[in-house]
Structure 1
């Protein structure tokens, strides 16, 4: 008997205009290079030998109970609408209900061509597979909603990008892969019955207490407002916040040209394809609001009273700046030891960030050092920092209580670009020790003692640009 799991594939029971049924394309010689046993246990997946896991999560063997398909969606990419995108190199194997009662998708990325591949080969190479594995699991350890990595498999085949590279498949787990773009495709095509069916499905799956389309909009806006504030609190820049990468579940998805900042700058951009800075660090709140406006535009198409729906949707989207600001203030206040922020605390935080930007202070290390009482060493203009610190101490009062809150709010390490690049280079040469080291230490970001991983890059180690994983 083959590998079996308790699949319950609700998306596959939707009409076939939502997807294309398709098995993953087999690969030559699958070899398991990483498997997330803790996540597998949560999902209730069976134990199996590495060879069997490699065959399933490499796309060679379709597990019993799966219903493989490629999902259809559209989306705005850098502000320009693409009427059909879809899973161009991914196959949704199916859904499982975990031991924690949550339903999740299990998806293979890099699993071959689909009808949505356009000019692509449907494959992935080892670098972005390991990068997503590490960064998504790091985000989970930071307590930020995210897709997760279950497995990474070498295919035994090469893929051609700028050069010949080893092929790989990532198994991604998400509460679902429903995106703003999933709704947009049916709204723009005028398939209103399908849009209603999708809306009902999303509500039943994610937000059963939501009242209709506008109730769904309200809850998704709230989830996305909190998510973007959480990103900013750890110096994360998504890099490609297109509407097809904006989930209904409020999970972070797509770890292509993303990055965690080293030295702080509000307008930092890492993505090589973001030439205009649309998705810069400080622009992320504005963009998530823009994405929710597109979501609202799609949802409104199904409403019987369009005028009333437009009025309600407009109010919900216009409420988002205040929501984001509140979450941002809560997150950053905790980072400086303030549990209940008050009027004026935002200015105190902004003044610290301005000092960090002026001095080129490291984002993660400055907040960690503030927690431990030696932040002064992060600055060259120490007089300016001393003046800020006096104001901060007057506001905080008991530093021991503040330090306890800060220790829970300020990670000691994040997956820095230069470490990810080192890890990828080593793995391509067959050395997975750097990958395993990152995997272990990033699982405990608030209490690691690995000072080497805390170190910012030297000038010759700086990685100024990140790239799409395709």
Structure 2
């Protein structure tokens, strides 16, 4: 079997200290779980029709012609603590493809075996995190939020040891790039200005061709991250592990380990089992975004001719993140509330609703979706204790009259901003548990439904429901 992808591997042309060249470690009995045909077409890939052949490719047993497999090196702050060397400990990038429209994408196998950066890990992934990343990343794409994508998932036929003996699996991740804040930190910490400059030039050419120098890149990334985090919060998403090695320069969401979508709203909500202090809680995400951007600014300082002037300039730029985020976040909230114009009290109106939702134990997604209906008073049904909702509803209706939008237009605007369906934690867990028993039907059904998240459908009404008390998932795990 000969397979060729439209590879043009620009990262592999950087100096060797950016990565280790390494092929995926073969697996014993690959079996295809899923192939994302629309994404393959988007990338311009010509794939075999046989599932066994697809499994061999996306397990790493068969390399497409033109692949230059490698594991990237980077550093990072993890929960605020500095790690001078991290890197792809269980991932191998096959290369970059140039899609028919000229866009460039990395193709990476996650769970492809040990690399020099595995830090005593086995380099493998088990089935649960692979299915979770596939479901959630594709759901994020359908929600219109910048994200890495899932091209394929395969069983490996091998056992990995985690809490017990677990079936191994590999997910194929597609990204605009895998360049992280931690990639810049790695070379800055080593005072390798030559590598920093090469990385800067590569990143600007790849993602922000209009940016000029370190200042231009920093400002572009600040804008991309402000927009991304506001989008996360608009759907109740909690990343769970916003380390600097998990912040991309492209502005895409990456690493779906301990992430989760909220059911009942609370600003301090945490799901990640390793976030003991709530550092990455829902409402903390903008502040952590700014903190991570400050680390990027620090890493870029060696490339500036006047360090003192650069510190002043970069400090002002990073401090400006708050205003840029607020503008994005307030825009998201206005859309969610159906406000076509902008008035001074709009943010206060939105935050008042969120406070009342926290007081009343309201489901985040259902509150906004029901508010988007022709009978918005039904949003009270999403509250465990609905008393706080009625006074706010009257204020909101009064505000709507100032816009004067026809009701049908208001409903359409809100329903385009407020999904009917998200990958609820208990449904993701249900799909994983069924797959562990050999039944992939719940996985395929959930993944298919999530491709149309803004439409109410009777046949998937059960997937829209908030969890019963006995179904609630209160912790998520990184899966390494």
In structure 2, the residue matched to 1:456 is: 466
* Aligned 8 A contact 1:3 1:52 in 2: no
Asked whether 1:402 is paired with 2:410, we answer yes
| Residue 312 of structure 1, CA deviation | 1.4
Q: Which residue of 1 aligns with 2:150?
A: 149
1:369-394 per-residue CA deviation (whole Å, 9 max, x = no partner) reads 10112212223554532211111011
Residue 47 of structure 1 and its aligned partner are, at CA, apart by 2.4
The change in CA–CA distance for 1:382 and 1:423 in structure 2 (over 3 A counts) is: closer
- Aligned partner of 1:12 in structure 2 is 12
Distance in 1 of aligned mates of 2:381 and 2:52: 51
Q: Are 2:27 and 1:37 aligned?
A: no
The equivalent residue for 1:187 is 188
| Corresponding residue for residue 431 of structure 1 | 439
Offset of 1:357 from its aligned partner?
0.5
CA positional deviation for 1:100: 2.6
> 1:235-270: per-residue Cα shift (whole Å, max 9, x none)?
000000000000000000000000000000000000
Deviation at 1:63, TM superposition (A): 1.2
Provide Cα deviations, 1:72-115, integer angstroms capped at 9, x if missing partner: 00000000110000000000000001123210000000000000
The match for 1:201 is: 202
Please tell me whether residue 163 in structure 1 is matched to residue 164 in structure 2. Answer: yes
Q: Compute the displacement of 1:429 (Å).
A: 0.7
Give the aligned partner of residue 378 of structure 1.
382
Structure 1 regions of 5+ residues with no counterpart?
A: none
Q: Secondary structure of the residue that 1:301 maps to in structure 2? A: helix
SS at match of 2:114: coil
- For 2:417 and 2:385, the matched residues in 1 are separated by 25
Q: Following superposition of structure 1 onto structure 2, how do residues 415-426 of structure 1 map, counting pairs within 5 Å?
A: 415-426=423-434
**Pick aligned residue for 1:445 from 438, 450, 453:** 453
Give the counterpart of 1:387 among 388, 391, 397.
391
What's the RMSD between the two structures over aligned residues? 0.9
Per the alignment, in what secondary structure is the counterpart of residue 311 of structure 1?
helix
Distance 2:411 2:219 in 1: 35
Q: Is the CA contact 1:423–1:435 (under 8 Å) kept in the aligned structure 2?
A: yes
Distance 1:59 1:196 in 2: 32
Deviation track 1:157-214 (CA, whole Å, cap 9, x = no partner) reads: 1111110010001000000000000000000011011001100110011101000011
- Aligned equivalent of 2:302: 301
Secondary structure at the counterpart of residue 341 of structure 1: coil
Aligned to 1:83: 84
Q: CA deviation at 1:317?
A: 0.4
**2:275 counterpart of 1:271:** no
- What SS class does the counterpart of residue 118 from structure 1 fall into? coil
TM-score, structure 2 normalization: 0.97
TM-score under structure 1 length normalisation: 0.99
Moved more, 382-391 or 272-281: 382-391
Please give the alpha-carbon distance, in whole angstroms, between the structure 2 residues aligned to 1:50 and 1:423: 21
**390-399 vs 14-23, which moves further:** 390-399
Q: Does the CA-based 8 Å contact 2:360-2:387 persist in structure 1?
A: no
**What CA distance in whole angstroms lies between the structure 1 residues aligned with 2:20 and 2:381?**
57
Contact 1:73 1:86 in 2 (8 A): yes
Unaligned 5+ segments in structure 2 are none
- 1:48-89 superposed Cα distances (whole Å, 9 cap, x missing partner): 022111111101011110000000000000001100000000
- Quote how far apart the aligned CAs of 1:447 are: 0.4
Residues 123, 159 of structure 1: 8 Å contact kept: yes
**1:229 corresponds to:** 230
Distance in 2, matches of 1:154 and 1:169, equals 7
d(CA) in 1 for partners of 2:299, 2:343: 37
Q: Is the 8 A contact 2:3 2:47 kept in 1?
A: no
Is the Cα–Cα contact under 8 Å of residues 329 and 341 in structure 1 kept in the other structure?
no
Alpha-carbon distance in 2 for matches of 1:244, 1:73: 7
- Answer yes or no: is 1:467 the counterpart of 2:470: no
DSSP-derived class of the 2:372 partner: helix
Whether 2:358 is the aligned partner of 1:364: answer: no
CA contact (8 A) 1:179 1:246 kept: yes
Does structure 2 retain, via aligned residues, the 8 Å contact 1:441–1:448?
Answer: no
- C-alpha contact 1:128 1:469 (8 A) present in aligned 2: yes
